[in-house]
Structure 1
Amino acid sequence: MPEQVCETWSGASSTNPQEWPEWKKNAQILMVAFHSMVATFMAAGIIPAYDTMAEVYGVTVPQASYLTSMQILLLGICPLFWKPLTSIYGRYHIFILSVLGSMVCNIGGARCTTYGTQMATRVLTAIFISPPMGIGSGIITELCEPEKRAQKLGWWTLMLTLGTPGGPFIMGFVTKHIGYQWMFWIFAIMNFCQLVAYLFLGEETLHIPENSHTPAASPDRSRFYHKFIPRRMNPRPLKAREFVEPLFYVRLPRVLIPACAHAIVFCYGNIALIVEMPIAFGEKFGFDSQQIGLQFIAIIIGCLLGEQLSGPISDRFLQALQKRRGHYRPADRLWLSYVGFGTVTAGLLVWGFQLSKATSWNVTPCVGAAIASFGNQVITTILISFAIDSHREVATDIGVCINVFRHLYGFIGPFYFPDMFDTLGLAGAAGVMCAIVGACAMLPIVAVHVVATRSD
């Protein structure tokens, strides 16, 4: 059966996450958000070192890029495996195992001398670091009141999105000045910092009211040490169908349509820009890894600004409707998504056309990338919040399902992006991407918006 998320739990208890102090709930949310960011940060962070690793390992640059592509794929698929385990054994110890395993693999990555061994460490790292990519939405839904949910989900989606441009931005400097091996040492240091944070600030967020096996909380230090002991949180048996159960929710239009729309926009408003940035700026302007990394600042700025609209402003918009009408519908959030679709389209066109005709570096393509990133962040938070608000009782499963769509579609993109950009040019490819976003993402959202508004 799916892991149920209760909107309100009865009975105050220190073991009930909804009764925790605000700082403690925020600490758990921020750790999960940072954990998700680290996953995408490490996958994309090796992009500036493709040329160097290709030379060292004796492979082509496209083959070196598979080190990232494989991680994108696994970050989408592996949460299907982790989600049932967290619903039985809890999330806390799974997260500790996640960062510890990832740290060991990154230390191994720093010592690799062949392409095969490096691929093995990247595969294992992606498997270990992937748990919060899907279940983060469920944790946040359980810890947050409805009127604050979009803002806190926004923290998670923002960090998840920022990891993609943040990795290449920082690792461009690392690769140029101290060597590509230090990328993996820095990844390991980040994992160690996560481990320390989980040990001292982390708590088990899975709450099962009927679970009589959960011991009563004690205020002394034995309570602190007790949380480190792994135990079975849920006595029910683990069933094989639970490993694919999140995918069953594609039968729900309010999950399937937002998942597809989000995957399309994320692919073209985020992944396409990040994959093409090193190629376009490297070939056109002769940029090195550090100079290419600086271009990702535009995407980071766009994401940060977009979250201000999609998170806090979205929640205030719903609160205003609540005061005026006495209630609000999940579909009311979708009004703000149209701002996202408009800015993604405008940003991609500015980026493609300005970069296509540029003969020397100028800031306008980066402005376009920032505008597209702004729209992508708005759409990401709004669509995920809408899907979860529509089916709050299965928030974790929905998060895993949406994550699969996002990463599978994102995994396919880099295989046809080079041919698309070579054949159509930057401007033509930008036009095609905008057409796909409009026809395959925005129009279905308009349809589900109309239907959901009338039926609620």
Structure 2
Amino acid sequence: MNNAETEKGAIPVTVNVVPGSNNSTNLPTRTSSMTNGESDYESGKGRTTFTAATVDEKALEDEEWETDPANPRNWTPSRKWSTMAIVSLYTFIPPLASSMMSPGLPEVAERFNIHSSTIVALTLTIFLLSFAIGPLFLAPLSEMYGRTWILHIGNIFNIGFNLGCAFAPSTATLIVFRFLSGFSGSAPIAVGGGSVSDLFNAQDRAKAMALYNLGPLLGPAIGPVAGGFITQSIGVKWVFIVIAITSGVGSVIAIPFLRETYAPILRFRQANRDGDAEKAARAHPALIQAQGSLLSIIWISLTRPLEMLFRSFICFILSLYMAFNYGIYYLMFSTFPALFSNTYGFGPGIGGLAYLGLGFGFVFSTLLGAKWGDALYKYLAAKNNGKAKPEMRIPFMLVGSIMAPIGLFWYGWSAQAKVHWIMPIIGTSIFSFALMTTFLPITLYLVDSFKYAASALAAAAVFRSMLGFAFPLFGKQMYDALGSGGGNSLLAGVAIVLGVPFPIWIYYRGEEMRARNPLTK
């Protein structure tokens, strides 16, 4: 029976569909239940009805899926973690590329005869502008067509665009290829968090999310270390060639072994193999609707991350705080070369080692933070009669919110006082530890709270990449005016305002706010 028809005596159930769809089946575009923590699709203002019997069939299929061996959450631990390792490898490479050229900025300026410090910084940060835009397109597409090929195709394009950077004949060409490489490189950022949600339940998600988050944070810290020695020995051109080679190795590993994790796609394929078209339609109605109204669905999907930012104060304020810290992180990349060259006399190769302080903080936080964060989350759930809530992620975040300004004060004033070079590096380690300690709970909170995990993370990624792009453009001017101590004190003050009172408020009022918002679970 057609889903749009109502049987005699059946209870009509109303759901959303995409307006203007010409699909003859009039399939619903919002499923009656959640799949792997993320509902399949939400559409526009059109409406249709289908029978309660159809809802019962869908509920039964959802229940069967919970115990199906094909469900990624039922995979063996080795298969889950090998999949997570490949996704994390993909997630590591583009952030590595984002900063790897930073020690070579003086050579870029000389090669292309650039005299503006803003244009020099733009060759580095333009990557982050497209890194912000990409998830708006790629995250919704992954929720329609699956995670795997979005990752593969993005990485393959990344190879070509980095080779374009290597052989760019002019500043404009370099900036264009950096922009394109940022867009293609955003694929893992757009879908990786969704993969974590696909594979792990909320109680087991922290370690996997820590591994996933390590790439976007550790990659930019390691990049300048390698980039400094490459630039000093064989030139900045080879920085981009090495990135292309690394991406190629990633594809060689991932294409044969990475498997799809998105439940609606897996269930859709399974139903098609069984020759059950109606079951396939119930498994992933958004994909069926796309056959009749692809542009409408893509438009709605593209606007979903922005809708989350503007309609959910929780998503907005947590994304803003994450973005502010990320902006400071990239501000350090653009100012480290001048600081450690002018103040401490470091060359490009040795100067790259200054970034290891950031990397140490990230690794230390990953090793301990996930364990501590999980333990605190489970402790609070146990005190609440075993009932876990997303707000139980917030207390661990406050540890990082307090440590971040401490690290900024330490870094800024020790650099201004020109004490031993290890002191500002220790300050950056404290800051990076705090950064990871806030990123992990925020990411988990967004995944736990919102119906569309990939789109929620895309919203946060857009925000943070925009500030990561913008901060280095004014960094030199700020430090020239205020000095390292004053500039970092200003940043620390804003970090305190954003990072302490609002999370405390969310901890006590977040559940009430989520209950009023249709975008949350």
When the two structures are superposed, what TM-score results if normalisation uses the length of structure 2?
Answer: 0.79
Between the aligned partners of 2:469 and 2:157, the Cα distance in structure 1 is 23
Specify the alignment match of 1:444 in structure 2.
Answer: 502
Alignment of 1:45-444 (within 5 A): 45-60=100-115, 61-208=117-264, 211=268, 215-216=272-273, 234-237=287-290, 238=294, 239=297, 240-250=299-309, 251-268=311-328, 270-324=329-383, 325-358=385-418, 361-391=420-450, 393-444=451-502
Total equivalences in the alignment: 439
Residues 255 and 387 of structure 1 are in contact (CA less than 8 Å); yes or no, is this contact kept in structure 2? yes
Residues 102 and 333 of structure 2 are in contact (CA less than 8 Å); yes or no, is this contact kept in structure 1? no
Between the aligned partners of 1:167 and 1:27, the Cα distance in structure 2 is 24
Residues 404-431 of structure 1 deviation map (CA, whole Å, 9 limit, x = unaligned): 1111122221122111111111111111
Distance 1:29 1:236, change over 3 A: farther
Cα offset, 1:2, TM superposition: 8.1
SS at match of 2:452: helix
SS at match of 1:10: helix
Residues 182-213 of structure 1 deviation map (CA, whole Å, 9 limit, x = unaligned): 11111011111111112221111222166267
Residues 309 and 378 of structure 1 are in contact (CA less than 8 Å); yes or no, is this contact kept in structure 2? no
Distance 1:410 1:5, change over 3 A: farther
Specify the alignment match of 1:40 in structure 2.
Answer: 95
Cα offset, 1:345, TM superposition: 1.1
Structure 2 gap ranges (5+): 1-28, 38-61, 275-284, 516-521
Cα offset, 1:20, TM superposition: 2.0
Cα offset, 1:139, TM superposition: 1.2
SS at match of 1:211: helix
Residues 349 and 427 of structure 1 are in contact (CA less than 8 Å); yes or no, is this contact kept in structure 2? yes
Between the aligned partners of 1:323 and 1:36, the Cα distance in structure 2 is 34
Between the aligned partners of 1:141 and 1:213, the Cα distance in structure 2 is 20
Residues 33 and 160 of structure 1 are in contact (CA less than 8 Å); yes or no, is this contact kept in structure 2? no
SS at match of 2:387: coil
Specify the alignment match of 1:225 in structure 2.
Answer: none
Distance 1:172 1:202, change over 3 A: same
Cα offset, 1:236, TM superposition: 2.5
Cα offset, 1:384, TM superposition: 1.4
Between the aligned partners of 2:270 and 2:204, the Cα distance in structure 1 is 32
SS at match of 1:328: coil
Between the aligned partners of 1:76 and 1:273, the Cα distance in structure 2 is 19
Task: Choose from 55, 59, 75 the match for 1:20.
Answer: 75
SS at match of 1:102: helix
Cα offset, 1:260, TM superposition: 1.2
Cα offset, 1:14, TM superposition: 4.8
Between the aligned partners of 1:2 and 1:372, the Cα distance in structure 2 is 42
Superposition CA RMSD, Å: 2.3
Higher relative contact order (CA 8 A, sep 6+): 1
Cα offset, 1:152, TM superposition: 0.9
Cα offset, 1:28, TM superposition: 2.1
Cα offset, 1:278, TM superposition: 1.2
Between the aligned partners of 1:213 and 1:57, the Cα distance in structure 2 is 54
Residues 408 and 488 of structure 2 are in contact (CA less than 8 Å); yes or no, is this contact kept in structure 1? yes
Between the aligned partners of 2:211 and 2:456, the Cα distance in structure 1 is 18
Structure 2 letter corresponding to 1:253: F
Residues 336-369 of structure 1 deviation map (CA, whole Å, 9 limit, x = unaligned): 112101211111101111010116x431111111
Residues 260 and 441 of structure 1 are in contact (CA less than 8 Å); yes or no, is this contact kept in structure 2? no
Cα offset, 1:214, TM superposition: 5.3
Between the aligned partners of 1:431 and 1:67, the Cα distance in structure 2 is 27
Residues 291-321 of structure 1 deviation map (CA, whole Å, 9 limit, x = unaligned): 2101011000011112234312111222233
Cα offset, 1:450, TM superposition: 2.0
Question: Larger deviation: 20-29 or 375-384?
Answer: 20-29
Residues 158 and 303 of structure 1 are in contact (CA less than 8 Å); yes or no, is this contact kept in structure 2? yes
Specify the alignment match of 2:85 in structure 1.
Answer: 30
Between the aligned partners of 2:113 and 2:416, the Cα distance in structure 1 is 32
Distance 1:267 1:437, change over 3 A: same
SS at match of 2:64: coil
Between the aligned partners of 1:334 and 1:375, the Cα distance in structure 2 is 14
Task: Choose from 56, 64, 73 the match for 1:10.
Answer: 64
Between the aligned partners of 2:89 and 2:286, the Cα distance in structure 1 is 25
SS at match of 1:58: coil
Residues 400 and 434 of structure 2 are in contact (CA less than 8 Å); yes or no, is this contact kept in structure 1? yes
Question: Larger deviation: 271-280 or 14-23?
Answer: 14-23
SS at match of 1:236: helix
